[in-house]
Homo-oligomer: A and B are copies of this chain.
Amino acid sequence: VTPRGASNGRERPAKPALTRKGIIATATAVMRAEGGERVTMRRLAKELGTGPASLYVYVKDTDDLHAAVLDELLAEVDLAVGAVEGGWRERLWTIVRSYSAVLHAHPSLARAAQVTPVSGPNYLAMADAILALLGQGGMAAGQAAWAADILLLIARGGAVEHGARRDCPSAGGDVSRGTSGSARARWAFDALLDGALETSRPPAPEHRARPDISVDEPAR
């Protein structure tokens, strides 16, 4: 009823002017308080005291919103891992595990991250840090880019799949059911890195039909 910032003292805590930053901050708060399923356009509009249509001025669509919230939360990933003992590999693991932790805490954001091309500053900084550490580990740039992709893809997929199994304990879908997920995550990390360090990337876009992989017969 009251037109603009009249502040007559009985509305919501001041009704902050609608901005993209403000919307994302509110979305992040709802995320932490009620979980990702509640971070919807309509729910958020209600929280901000307006109609859902108003949000579309600042946010492209729901995926855009979720991606922005994720990037906000990725500020939690500490990239200053210089002090971590154990060399580049442990430093890298610290970052990857931290990324995984954020996604496991919010599986719906892991879902969004799969679906929306990430471009937030925190994600990009993390990707850079990962590439730098792979370089420190002696990995060639070509392999490093692919290894980083796969490492992050596994983290996202793992979070989505783990998030779903949350309420259904009798999963049984995995080949290796029962064992600790975090031990498997570490093993996958090590196996991929070990393999990436020795598996050469195929030379050129259309140089030869297939990379010449060693096709030795079974040793068993």
Contacts and interface: CB of A to CB of B under 8 A. Distances in A.
A87 B217 contact: yes
Interface stretch (A17-25, A39-47, A72-80, A151-159): A151-159
B89 A168 contact: no
Interface centre among A87, A131, A175, A216 (most CB of B within 10 A): A175
Contact of A136 (B156, B164, B172, B218): B218
Interface string A126-148: 01001100011110000101111
B180 A89 contact: no
Counting every copy of the chain, the complex holds 2
B154 A183 contact: no
In terms of DSSP, what is the predominant structure of the interface of chain A?
helix
A52 to B, nearest CB: 21
A128 to B, nearest CB: 9
A147 to B, nearest CB: 7
A219 interface: yes
Interface of A: 86-90, 114-119, 127, 130-131, 135-138, 143, 145-150, 152-154, 156-158, 160-161, 164-165, 168, 170-176, 179-180, 183-184, 186-188, 190-196, 198-199, 201-202, 205, 210-211, 213, 215-220
28 contacts: A87-B217, A89-B213, A114-B160, A114-B161, A115-B161, A115-B164, A117-B170, A119-B172, A127-B175, A131-B175, A138-B218, A138-B220, A143-B187, A146-B187, A148-B176, A149-B175, A149-B176, A150-B154, A153-B154, A153-B157, A153-B161, A156-B157, A190-B211, A191-B199, A194-B194, A194-B195, A194-B198, A195-B196
